[in-house]
Amino acid sequence: MSAALSVSGLSKSFAGVRAIRDLSFEVPKGRTTALIGPNGAGKTTVFNLVSGVYGVDAGRITVIGTDVTHMASRRRISTGVARSFQNIRLMSHLSVLENLLVGQHVRASSLGALLTPYRLIPNHRWKREARAALAESGLEAYADETVGALPYGVRKRIDLVRATLAGASVLMLDEPAAGLNPSETNALRDHLKALARKGVTLLVVEHDMHFVDSICESVVVLNFGEKIAEGPLSEVRRDPKVREAYIGTDGED
């Protein structure tokens, strides 16, 4: 099976601290993979390197066959990789719908698209599409609300919907279930499974192992910026190195 996302020999240091060390792994196309590890293991740094927030010190990043290692961060989304954020990064004084429209930008960035007065056109296809995506997640009631006024769980889900609107085939989700209540977590699980059924490749950073177990086919375990194990969760959790890394944390259940 070909890889949707592959990193090889990836390294990154911050002021002498080696955050990622010679990291290599592949995310197979159409599969859901989790990136797990204790706090500070470098999971979010991997997302930041793949999306281009940080440049790499060494190594290579490939998204669906395209080498994006030195590509400008804003161009990477057009190769098919989009992400969500651990600490929700929505534009809080805009409405939900407007936030989602920004998410569509990569598919509507021509001069003509930029200058189309979509707000004057009732039911413009961009708005219809964004509302449809909200409806799929059961969030259509919030379309016209100001994002800043919404509860945490709803904002978290909207951050995810925005990431899906780029039409990316690889989605990197940074702790999508963190801070959600059980019913919101269930809704999120259904949503992610629906995305996976559509063929979207998911790479998920998550601490909740029950959640990981319920959606991910395989996991990559990081500790101190290095890969210490890889494979199905049931196998990985028996690995002595993983047990050692997780001692005293809730991942060891």
Least Å from the CB of residue 110 to another protein: 10
83 binds another protein (CB under 8 A): yes
109 binds another protein (CB under 8 A): yes
52 binds another protein (CB under 8 A): yes
Least Å from the CB of residue 67 to another protein: 18
**Which residue in the set 6, 44, 45, 51 belongs to the binding site for another protein (CB under 8 A)?**
51
Least Å from the CB of residue 104 to another protein: 9
Give every CB contact of residue 204 below 8 A, 6+ residues apart in sequence: 32, 33, 34, 35, 172, 173, 176, 192, 212, 215, 216
Residue with tokens 């413009």: 124
Give every CB contact of residue 180 below 8 A, 6+ residues apart in sequence: 153, 156, 188
CA torsion, points 118, 122, 127, 132, in degrees to nearest 10? -170
**Which residue in the set 22, 28, 31, 108 belongs to the binding site for another protein (CB under 8 A)?**
108
Residue with Cβ nearer another protein (163 or 215): 163
95 binds another protein (CB under 8 A): yes
CA distances from 167 to 70, 83, 201, 228 (A): 22, 11, 12, 32
**Which residue in the set 31, 105, 189, 243 belongs to the binding site for another protein (CB under 8 A)?**
105
**Which residue in the set 13, 14, 67, 93 belongs to the binding site for another protein (CB under 8 A)?**
93
Q: What are phi and psi of 44, to 5 degrees?
A: -65, -30
**Which residue in the set 17, 39, 115, 122 belongs to the binding site for another protein (CB under 8 A)?**
115
181 binds another protein (CB under 8 A): no
Least Å from the CB of residue 229 to another protein: 29
**Which residue in the set 86, 116, 214, 218 belongs to the binding site for another protein (CB under 8 A)?**
116
Angle, helices 182-197 vs 152-164, to 10°: value is 10
Three-class DSSP labels, 14-52: ECCEEEEEEEEEEEECCCEEEEECCCCCCHHHHHHHHHC
Q: Token pair of 98, please?
A: 């407007």
- Annotate 32-60 with b (16+ C-beta within 10 A) or e (fewer): bbbbbbbeebbbbbbbbbbbbebebeebe
Least Å from the CB of residue 25 to another protein: 21
Total chain residues near another protein (CB under 8 A): 40
Among positions 3-22, residues that touch another protein (CB under 8 A) are none
1 binds another protein (CB under 8 A): no
Angle, helices 96-103 vs 125-136, to 10°: value is 110
**Which residue in the set 1, 15, 17, 120 belongs to the binding site for another protein (CB under 8 A)?**
120
84 membership: H or E segment, kind and range: none
Give contact residues for another protein (rule: CB under 8 A).
51-53, 73-78, 82-83, 85, 89, 91-95, 98, 101-103, 105-106, 108-109, 113-120, 126, 144, 146, 149, 162, 166
